[in-house]
Amino acid sequence: MHKKKRTDNEAVMDIVGRDQPDQELTIEFDRERCVWKFKKAETELWKQPSDPILEAVAGLLTPETPEWSGTSSELLAILPELGLKPNTLSRKLNCCKGRLQEEYGIRYDPQQRTSDKRIFLLELLPEVK
């Protein structure tokens, strides 16, 4: 981290690492709260690439049909282009539950389990303004 002048409120932070892309962040010191605040990034932050399975599931829900409930076999019947087995789809949805909600605004809830099938709910969350 470096500043142009010692008394400046603005500084540039260089981030370099083996497991992440190099970045240069401009931050500003808030003297009232004694915290550094993010101002801008010179290089675009790394974003996880899109997942075709999550994209297909996200395309299923619209404001007109904000919910879907059923088994993974029923979901695969609607989305045959995925070419997965039902248990693989269930594991993927369980694993990416947080990402599905954060990036696509879809809540995944494994609702019920009977002796022969597992039913889950996909729900499009309302946009927060």
**Contact indicator for 108, 58 with CB cutoff of 8 Å:** no
Classify residue 57 by burial, with Cβ atoms within 10 Å: 0-12, 13-18, 19+: buried
| pLDDT value for 122 | 92
Range of the domain at 20: 1-47
| pLDDT value for 46 | 62
**Contact indicator for 12, 26 with CB cutoff of 8 Å:** yes
Q: What is the pLDDT of residues 55-107, one digit of tens each?
A: 999 999 988 999 999 999 999 999 999 889 998 998 999 999 999 998 899 99
| pLDDT value for 48 | 74
pTM of the complete model: 0.59
Count the domains in the chain.
2
Q: Is residue 92 part of a domain?
A: yes
Q: Is residue 129 part of a domain?
A: no
Q: Are 35 and 59 in a shared domain?
A: no
Q: Are 19 and 80 in a shared domain?
A: no
Under DSSP, the state recorded for 48 is P
CA end-to-end span of the chain, whole Å?
A: 34
